[in-house]
């Protein structure tokens, strides 16, 4: 187990900078998820930690060592990729042990470590199989097993579940979470899937265009997103955003105008500029109640009934695809209009520069 630290990490390819001076401190034993849209620099950041890319400037530390100029093989890390890259002619056992064997570890020790890892990953009955006779999930487990036998200080995963179907992804997600509990190593996991980030991470690092937007626990990001980008990225379906005007702000409230309605929200708006354009954010799952502090009118266009919940989509205050999530079966007709009740304490408010006004209360967990 080791902590990992990046200091002012910059990476450029030619004259294009893709990682812009990132500072990060990851604690020993933590499960960290790097999340963000495609192309934001997740893989590059992970490859910098692995030593597969070299920094343009800044430094990387693993444990108490400065590894900025250390070769990948000497960094005490193991990496699992989206493509499993197993040797087709080798059995599961040989695939898992190959790396160790090549570094000169004796046969019995390799066999012992492979057997132990195979048991952890429930591969012990498949040791004699070739990769072509395994399912996608089993192949990915072999790839993880190959990493485990090396007993690394830090595990790196780059979108390891993207090639699996939805059901297997959920299963593997649980398996990796359990593995982390069992072996307690520091793990850095890259994904573009915010559900994987929310369910697996101790802390999430949200990246955009090579910058860190926010670092925090899943529920911190959910309840207190620092800006519009994080608010829109975390949560499914996405938060609804409506344009509004700020009338006045104080340390304990913001008074806004939404379509001629005056609404007071419990946020710290002491830095607000009266008359400025703001964005009101409301999560679909916060909108299903029969009462609230104010109401908006929704023109329902589509209703998706999933059994356990109902999603109502339509136009609301100039937003095309406003979504309301209601618990259970909801018989609201498509084409009808309805009042959406909103609790002021559930709202998020964003300034013109996209930064959030800090919320003073949350009706959920306030982690
Ligand atoms: N070897 C490379 N040469 C030039 N540009 C690269 C190279 N690797 C990545 N990039 C660029 O860096 C940016 C970040 O890429 P990447 O880290 O792969 O993003 P992500 O994993 O978040 O999808 C992208 O714009 C990509 O085109
Ligand atoms: Mg990538």
Q: Which of 157, 21, 145, 153 is nearest to 91 (CA)?
A: 145
For residue 47, report the distance from its CA to the centre of ligand 1, in Å: 11
User: Are both 221 and 242 inside the same structural domain?
Assistant: no
Q: Is residue 355 domain-resident?
A: no
CATH number at residue 207: 3.40.50.300
CATH number at residue 310: 2.40.50.140
User: Are both 242 and 109 inside the same structural domain?
Assistant: no
- Closest Cα to atom 9 of ligand 1: 44
Q: How far apart are the first and last CA of the chain?
A: 26
- Please provide residue 263's backbone torsions phi and psi, each rounded to the nearest 5 degrees: -130, 140
Range of the domain at 278: 237-350
Work out how many domains the chain is built from and give that number: 2
pLDDT of res. 364: 47
pLDDT of res. 362: 59
Q: Is residue 359 domain-resident?
A: no
Residue from 15, 18, 42, 188 to probe ligand 1 pocket by mutation (most atoms less than 8 Å from CB): 18
User: Which of 193, 228, 263 is the last residue before a domain boundary?
Assistant: 228
Residues at CB less than 6 angstroms from ligand 1: 13, 18, 36, 38-44
pLDDT of res. 85: 85
For residue 260, report the distance from its CA to the centre of ligand 1, in Å: 46
* Residue whose entry in the numeric block shows the structure tokens 């009808």: 336
Is the Cα torsion angle 287, 290, 294, 298 positive or negative in sign?
A: positive
Residue 31 DSSP label: E
Q: Is residue 367 domain-resident?
A: no
Q: Is residue 363 domain-resident?
A: no
How far apart are the C-alpha atoms of 130 and 114, rounded to whole Å?
15
pLDDT of res. 366: 44
Q: Is residue 147 domain-resident?
A: yes
pLDDT of res. 175: 87
Q: Is residue 122 domain-resident?
A: yes
Residues 6+ apart with CB under 8 A from 359: 223, 224, 266, 267, 348
Q: Is residue 365 domain-resident?
A: no
Give the residues of the chain that fall short of pLDDT 70.
362-367
Query: Is the Cβ–Cβ distance between 97 and 111 less than 8 Å?
Result: yes
Q: Summarize pLDDT for 231-275 with one digit per residue, the tens.
A: 999 999 999 999 999 999 999 999 999 999 999 999 999 999 999
Q: Summarize pLDDT for 51-77 with one digit per residue, the tens.
A: 999 999 999 999 999 999 999 989 989
Q: Is 155 exposed, middle or buried (0-12, 13-18, 19+ CB in 10 A)?
A: buried
């Amino acid at each position: 187990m080791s902590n990992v630290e990046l200091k002012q990490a910059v990476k450029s390819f030619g004259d294009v900078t893709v990682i812009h001076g990132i500072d990060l401190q990851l604690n020993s034993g933590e499960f960290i998820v790097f999340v963000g849209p495609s192309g934001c620099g997740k893989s590059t950041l992970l490859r910098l930690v692995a030593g597969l890319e070299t920094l343009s400037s800044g430094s990387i530390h693993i444990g108490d060592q400065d590894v900025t100029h250390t070769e990948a093989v000497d960094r005490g890390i193991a990496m699992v990729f989206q493509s499993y890259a197993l040797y087709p002619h080798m059995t599961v056992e040989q695939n898992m042990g190959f790396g160790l064997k090549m570094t000169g570890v004796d046969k019995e020790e390799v066999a012992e470590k492979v057997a132990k890892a195979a048991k952890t990953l429930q591969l012990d009955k498949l040791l004699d199989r070739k990769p072509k006779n395994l399912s996608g999930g089993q192949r990915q487990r072999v790839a993880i097993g190959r990493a485990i036998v090396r007993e690394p200080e830090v595990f790196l995963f780059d979108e390891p579940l993207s090639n699996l179907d939805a059901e297997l992804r959920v299963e593997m997600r649980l398996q990796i979470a359990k593995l982390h509990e069992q072996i307690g190593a520091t793990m850095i996991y890259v994904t573009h899937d915010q559900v994987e980030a929310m369910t697996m991470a101790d802390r999430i690092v949200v990246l955009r265009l090579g910058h860190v937007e926010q670092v925090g626990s899943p529920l911190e990001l959910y309840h207190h997103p620092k800006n519009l980008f994080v608010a829109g990225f975390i949560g499914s379906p996405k938060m609804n955003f409506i344009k509004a005007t700020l009338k006045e702000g104080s340390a304990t409230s913001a008074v806004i105008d939404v379509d001629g309605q005056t609404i007071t929200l419990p946020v710290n708006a002491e830095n607000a500029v009266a008359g400025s354009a703001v964005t009101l954010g409301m999560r679909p799952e916060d909108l299903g109640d029969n009462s609230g502090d104010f109401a908006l009118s929704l023109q329902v266009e589509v209703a998706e009934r999933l059994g356990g919940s109902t999603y109502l989509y339509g136009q609301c205050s100039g937003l095309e695809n406003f979504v309301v999530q209601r618990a259970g079966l909801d018989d609201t007709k498509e084409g009808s209009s309805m009042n959406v009740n909103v609790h002021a304490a559930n709202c998020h408010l964003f300034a013109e520069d996209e930064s959030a006004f800090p919320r003073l209360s949350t009706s959920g967990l306030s982690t």
